[in-house]
Amino acid sequence: MNALFLGYGRMGSAIAQAWLEAGLVSHISAVDPYLQTASHATLYNDVAALPTIAYDIIVVAVKPNYACEVLSALPPGLCQQAVVISVAAGVTSQKLSQALGHGCPVVRAMPNTPVLVGAGCTGLFAPSGLSERQRAQVTRLFSAVGTASWVEQEGLLDAVTALSGSGPAYYHLFSEALAAAGIELGLSPELAKTLAAQTALGAATLQTQADADFVALRTAVTSPNGTTAAAIGVFEHESALRRLVETAVRSASRRSEELSRES
Ligand SMILES: NC(=O)C1=CN([C@@H]2O[C@H](COP(=O)(O)OP(=O)(O)OC[C@H]3O[C@@H](n4cnc5c(N)ncnc54)[C@H](OP(=O)(O)O)[C@@H]3O)[C@@H](O)[C@H]2O)C=CC1
Ligand SMILES: O=C(O)[C@@H]1CCC=N1
């Protein structure tokens, strides 16, 4: 399979590398205007320089405000047999199809940065027009970089974006705060960083592998009247943390909706 990436920044290059390593694609071409070199890909600085090849997969991995522009500049001959997959936050399938200007199937994907280490999760949506074979192919591609889950309503991608697309940043922020608190208590910055990161990894591993829900896992750490209870009491006072998280995730979802209107 031949894949073409329009935009070869963090997301595009991470996905491309994983697909190549998993043997799911045989060759990657990438268009990115200012890059001098691109690992794992044949690089072009302009779509006009692309050879006329019928690509199997075309990935739109530019910033949302450029997504329609790059698709409308694509010569139709390149997409005859392609499935077009856009990772651009908030850009609707209708706008992507309009920009393409012909009937090739469009999929929206919302991955997250842990695709870099094969631990991503991707929400997927396709309007009608995608065959079962193509759907299975897209599932296989995103399963190579973590989990792949389809949603049946496009609007739900705003929630996916707010939860897992942006989610890694929330966990990094929490680790940053946890490490800073450890430094305040006298730990060296190196040790505080190691403890915060390893605790996040350990907790996430338990969440994905242990046969217990989040509440049971939390309860297992929390001895009556112990240290964890002291901290949880602060987070849970008037549901402070839960309310903050809900407000933050709603705000991300609203921004995703706004991007749909702006793009
Ligand atoms: N980062 C994340 O966590 C996630 C990002 N996304 C989505 O992925 C997309 C890309 O994000 P990300 O990889 O982080 O961004 P990057 O800025 O790292 O990558 C975008 C790349 O596209 C290039 N580019 C700009 N204009 C064009 C053009 N006309 N043709 C081809 N390439 C172009 C940029 O070049 P230059 O830098 O020179 O402008 C840049 O190299 C976004 O739409 C975002 O919504 C989705 C899920 C998660
Ligand atoms: O912040 C953003 O808009 C993109 C989409 C999800 C993660 N990063």
196-214: pLDDT as tens digits? 999 999 999 999 999 999 9
Average pLDDT over residues 87-108: 93
- For residue 32, report the distance from its CA to the centre of ligand 2, in Å: 19
- Whether residue 89 has its Cβ less than 6 Å from ligand 2: yes
* Radius of gyration of the chain from its Cα atoms, rounded to whole angstroms: 21
Are the CB atoms for 68 and 48 separated by under 8 Å?
no
- The complex scores an ipTM of 0.98
Look at residue 68 in the predicted model and tell me its pLDDT: 95
- Element of type H or E holding 30: strand 27-31
Distance CA 238, CA 235 (A): 8
Residue-wise pLDDT for 24-44, tens only, equals 999 999 999 999 999 899 999
Tokens of residue 139, six digits? 């599932």
183: pLDDT strictly greater than 90: yes
Residue pair 171/180 in contact (Cβ under 8 Å)? The answer is: no
- Ligand 2 closest atom vs CA 112: 7
pLDDT attached to residue 255: 95
The structure tokens listed for 210 are 């242990």
What is the number of the ligand 2 atom nearest to the C-alpha of 259?
A: 3
E-strand ranges in 96-221 read 106-110, 120-125, 146-150
- Band (pLDDT 50/70/90 cuts) for residue 263 is confident
Q: How high is the pLDDT of residue 80?
A: 85
pLDDT computed for residue 105 by the predictor: 94
Do the beta carbons of residue 104 and residue 79 sit within 8 Å?
A: yes
Task: Give the count of beta carbons closer than 10 Å to the beta carbon of residue 245.
Answer: 12
* Nearest-CA residue for atom 18 of ligand 1: 9
Element (H, E) at 2: strand 2-6
Please state the rounded mean pLDDT for residues 66-93: 93
Specify the pLDDT at position 261: 86
- C-alpha to C-alpha distances, 217 to 99, 222, 224, nearest whole angstrom: 47, 9, 15
- Nearest residue (CA) to ligand 1, atom 19: 9
Q: Tell how strand 2-6 and strand 27-31 pair up.
A: parallel
Paired tokens of 55: 């690509």
Three-state DSSP class for residue 51: coil
Torsions phi, psi of 56, nearest 5? Answer: -85, -40
**Residue 166 in contact with ligand 2 by CB distance below 6 A:** yes
- pLDDT computed for residue 18 by the predictor: 92
